[in-house]
Each structure stands twice: as structure tokens, then as C-alpha cells.
Amino acid sequence: MGDRPYVIDRMISAKTIAARVEELAREITDAFSHTDKLVVVGLLRGSFVFIADLVRELEMPVEVDFIEASSYGNSTESSREVRILKDLRGEIGGRDVLLVEDIVDTGYTLAHVTGLLKSRGPERLETIALLDKPSRREIDVRATWTGFEIPDEFVVGYGIDYAERNRNHPHIGKVRFLEPGAFDRPKAAEPRTHPQ
Ligand code: PRP
């Protein structure tokens, strides 16, 4: 994989994402109104754009930390094995924590990482996922807040990759694979939204 020709069709625009992030930030600010300093934990790498936008909309003191987990490697299918590649720098015992995830698919990553964080005794642990694909769920988990529920499409952009590409697209796009050699023709049948 990775060498199949594809185009990216726009699914959720940058403007729509920004509006939703603002809404979610208001809800989170309300929910943690009694918290001195919220620990916002980004689940790398997919959440790096979302957490950057989200924390800038939170009207409260925050501390930012990261944890890196990997379940996919360079494949489009989940291996169902979650490995912690980088742990938090700070302690979360007795703290209020918000875990920020880009997408919940089978649910293995969210279940594993929330289990790990809970074992460290936070005062409160909530989760937020920008995207949720409920039709793919294999473990019964759901984030406290969800940006958008989406169908079972292969999505990229706004931090989410396809074989480590496309994380820098400002919108969420849907990967549409083409026949091999599609770009060899003088004119593609449909315009490429974002050539890669
Ligand atoms: C992706 C995504 C989620 C997870 C969701 O991470 O960022 O964290 O998979 O899948 P699941 O619900 O089936 O567990 P990936 O392991 O690809 O790492 P990345 O964030 O570094 O791209």
C-alpha cells in the first residue's frame, strides 16, 4: 500500500471544524469550571492539530502533555495491539485530565489509553475525539465529547495520515483510490482535490 493512486475528496471543511472546535471548547470550559489547571493530554500523533486548536479555545489554565500510542503502523487496518511509544512527562494523580484523540475506530486505542491513565489515579478523566466511526467499533467505548460522527470511510487531514502523508491538510478528506495508472492519462476524469 502507499503506492496506489488516490485522490482526496473533501469531507469536513476547515471552517466547519473550527466552528465545532469552538463549541466543544465552550462545553469543556463549562465542564471543568472548578478545575485549577486542566491537564490536556494529546494522543500522538494524530491529535496534534486538534489539540493545538482546542487548547487555544479553552478559557482556563491548562497544562499540555502528550502520550504516543500506535495501533496501526503503516497499515489501514488496526492490529488491535496498542503500544505506548512515548509516555506522559507529568504526573496526573489527583489531577483533572482531558485526553484528546483524533479518531475512534475500533476503540482499542481509546480503551487502552484511558485504562492506563485511570490506573494513575486522576481526580477526573474525560475524553474528546474529533471523529468517531461508531460502525467500526469492536470495544464498547465512547469519548465524553465527539466532534463529528462519520461513516466508515478512510479519512485523512487535520492531523490524520495515510501512510504518514496528508496530516497537514487543513480539512478532513476522504481517500478515494483510483485504478493503477490513472494519473498517466493526459487528463484525469475528475480533478484532483489535493495531488499527492
Ligand atoms: C490511529 C488514530 C487513533 C487510533 C484509532 O492512530 O490516531 O489513535 O488509530 O483506532 P482504534 O480506535 O481502532 O484503536 P495510529 O495508531 O494510526 O497512530 P497515529 O495517531 O500516530 O497516526
Residues 49-59: what's their mean pLDDT? Answer: 98
Q: Which residues are designated catalytic?
A: 105
For residue 160, tell me if it sits in a domain.
no
Q: What is the pLDDT of residue 195?
A: 46
Q: How many domains does the chain have?
A: 1
Q: State pLDDT tens for residues 73-111.
A: 555 555 578 999 999 999 999 999 999 999 999 999 999
115 has pLDDT over 60 = yes
The residue type found at 183 is F
135 has pLDDT over 80 = yes
Q: How far is CA 186 from the centre of its chain?
A: 37
For residue 58, tell me if it sits in a domain.
yes
Beta strands in 30-123 (DSSP E): 38-44, 62-70, 83-86, 96-104
Q: Is 96 in the pocket of ligand 1 (CB under 6 A)?
A: no
Q: How far, in Å, is the centroid of ligand 1 from the Cα of 90?
A: 22
For residue 5, tell me if it sits in a domain.
no
Total-model pTM: 0.89
Q: Is 78 in the pocket of ligand 1 (CB under 6 A)?
A: yes
CATH number at residue 85: 3.40.50.2020
Range of the domain at 134: 14-151
For residue 181, tell me if it sits in a domain.
no
